Amino acid sequence: MDIDAPKVVLVVDDEPLVLMNAVYMFEDLGFEVLEARGGAEAMSVLESRPDVSLLFTDCRMPGMTGPELAAAASQRWPSLRIVLVSGYVNLDQVRWPLVGKPYDVETIERIARES
């Protein structure tokens, strides 16, 4: 991979406006941003794009939840960095970083610096 190439993030959310907002925030920070509206679509994107370095996914989605997606993706791609996003604080303990909704650009910047 070209060292000057932008890092690639996959943003997953079933809410179109939330998805669009996160995509814009990551793009403004110089990421190449891919998007998916659910877990199955996200897995397809990950299959086709081995250069994804960060998976930023909502927790509560129909079909495959964010934690289920994170578990499947981390098993298949162990070096993939995963950050879960949720508007609910009463989630079971998860083994990935969890960001609360609503999040702001400062939160996205912190995640980007850690990527």
Reading the block at residue 17, the tokens are 């406006």
Q: For each successive 10 residues of the chain (115 residues), what is the average pLDDT?
A: 72 96 95 97 97 95 94 96 84 77 90 81
Residues 67-76: contacts with CB under 8 Å, at least 24 apart: 67/91, 67/92, 67/94, 67/96, 68/39, 69/12, 69/39, 69/42, 69/43, 70/94, 70/96, 72/39, 72/43, 73/42, 73/43, 73/46, 76/46
Pick from 8, 32, 11: nearest CA to 20: 11
pTM: 0.91
Domains and their CATH numbers in the chain: 8-114 (3.40.50.2300)
Return the pLDDT at 96: 87
